[in-house]
Amino acid sequence: MGNASGFYGDRFDAMREMLTGGHLDFLTGDYLAELTMLILGRDRLKDPSAGYARTFLRQLEECLGTAHERGVRIVANAGGLNPAGLAENVRKLADRLGIPVRVAHVEGDDLTAGHPDSLAAHAYLGAFGIAACLRGGADVVVTGRVTDAALVAGPAAAHFGWGPEDHDRLAGAVVAGHVLECGTQATGGNYAFFAEHVRQDPRILRHPGFPLAEIHPDGTSVITKHPGTGGIVDIGTVTAQLLYETQGARYAGPDVTARLDTVRLTQEGPDRVRIHGVRGEAPPPTLKVGLNRLGGFRNEVTFVLTGLDIEHKAALVRDQLETVLHASKSRPAEVTWSLARTDHPDAPTEETASALLRLVVRDPDQNTVGRTLSGAAVELALASYPGFHVLAPPGKGAPYGVFEAEYVPQDAVDHVAVLDDGRRIPVPPPRDTLVLEEQPKPPLPDPLPPGPTRRAPLGVVAGARSGDKGGNANVGVWVRTDEAWRWLAHTLTVPRFRELLPETADLTVVRHALPQLRALNFTVEGILGEGVAAQHRFDPQAKALGEWLRSRHLDIPEALL
């Protein structure tokens, strides 16, 4: 089972590469994210027939014939807000190309009608609608909002005949699906220790191959990639992706709660990592619903401060603009300043002698963040600090979105598989459910004995990967030896985490230990404000939060260096 897309906008040629690069039974594609649902919702406002990932159709135009010839069945969530519309367009494409394929889709996730204040409200459905489509003979299955891992668990359940009670098998497939869902993040992309591999082979990450999973009837799997493709698959790349956007030992989904604290990884050979030992529990009685709404309008301007007196220059222009904004009848509701000291003393170039002062404003009214800001900023051009200029003049203000999550009972959603011939197969909610509870803290190893230490970046011994979940961020940190784990488990506490990342000092930070992965997973609540689309901070998706953590210095035992 392969993956050919980790997000809407991923490498266009990946579908062709995966279909022609080696054997596959199923090819999956993940096109949706919290931000994508907002983008598709805005598309649908302009055109009610839109709302799906258009690049998926263009990829199929090149690749549908190849998939049919090779017997590869395609499963993708590219349907977005309009899976029925995408399915119909895939049928039209197949008819035009003369390719006899059966196209099915999954629906029932759209709850927007019950949330009139939302641009899009969608429940995260599970694997069994996909499985019903495949059991009904579909060659192509398109869905709306399903969990990312369902794209793998659904085909596995259909192929092996698993039922809703097969919790351990489903959990194994969910873990494999979570590894595959972000494409090349499992094969060396965004990987903390990439430099070690590039030093050995400078070409290895130029064009990473997309990942695939060999799924077995018992739910175990091997993560690998097509022979001869770029990238790396090792315990580190798989561990990094396992920690990505997860929280705690229990990874809950609509079909099963996978116990991440039971996952075992074994390097079976070059670019082959076996996932085994995964235990599953009954899923929670509720489904997550993602709500996307327009939050208002935002605008920004970045002032370039060059040379001497950086702090005084920043204070002057800030005081000048704040005075104008305060005097205005339409002061933006939210005004945020940040100064990035990118300047260097005695710099050899003007760019490296310059710092960046960023102003971001938000307001429900577009004019307030448009004309008010642009007028105030531009009028200072000859009346402010020496060397005044901006990266770009502020525009008229752009809309931004807000993501929120709520939960509804599993039986509140009409989960339906719609086959190629129009038959509608209801997908019942699971009979057995289990209210999600925090797993007791696992025992930690004995700490390392005292010894000499050296001041060094955490990233010398630890890898990390971070990402967004609504307004929260997660940071997964792992090490590669038992000795390093003994040190990390007792050193990287929540107080130390806050100390290393001062932006988190006043936020709720929760730590989860996963000893079998030699990993810690931190959840930082509220650091992303109202979600990625609100662009609350410099790194709105928290993609680099883990790398910032790795760059921070602390005392590390010399035995580990």
Q: What 3 state SS string does 160-228 have?
A: HCCCCCCHHHHHHHHHHHHHHCCHHHHCCCCCCCHHHHHHHCCCCCCCECCEEEEECCCCCEEEEECCC
Nearest-angstrom CA–CA distance, 548 and 545: 5
Confidence of residue 547 (pLDDT cuts 50, 70, 90): very high
For residue 34, is pLDDT > 90? no
| Mean residue pLDDT across the chain | 95
- Could you read off the pLDDT of 69-126 as tens digits, one per residue? 999 999 999 999 999 999 999 999 999 999 999 999 999 999 999 998 899 999 999 9
Instruction: Please name every residue paired with 475 in a beta bridge, in sequence order, or none if there are none.
Output: 466, 522
- Asked whether 523 and 483 are in contact (CB, 8 A), the reply is no
Nearest-angstrom CA–CA distance, 370 and 298: 8
pTM to 2 decimal places:
0.94
Give percent above pLDDT 90 in the chain: 86
Q: Which amino acid is at 523?
A: T
Nearest CA to 167 out of 246, 274, 279, 286 is that of: 279
Give the side-chain half-sphere CA count within 13 A for 178: 26
Nearest-angstrom CA–CA distance, 21 and 404: 40
Distances (CA, A) of 137 to 27, 96, 126, 309, 414: 16, 21, 19, 70, 22
Structure tokens at 512: 């989860």
For residue 372, is pLDDT > 80? no
Distances (CA, A) of 167 to 161, 255, 407, 429, 474: 13, 8, 22, 14, 26
Q: Report phi then psi at 472, rounded to 5.
A: -100, 160
- Could you read off the pLDDT of 317-354 as tens digits, one per residue? 999 999 988 877 778 899 999 999 999 999 999 999 99
What is the model's pLDDT at position 247?
Answer: 85
The Cα diameter of the chain in Å comes to: 73
For residue 290, is pLDDT > 80? yes
- Asked whether 253 and 172 are in contact (CB, 8 A), the reply is no
Mean pLDDT for 533-537 is 74
What is the model's pLDDT at position 376?
Answer: 86
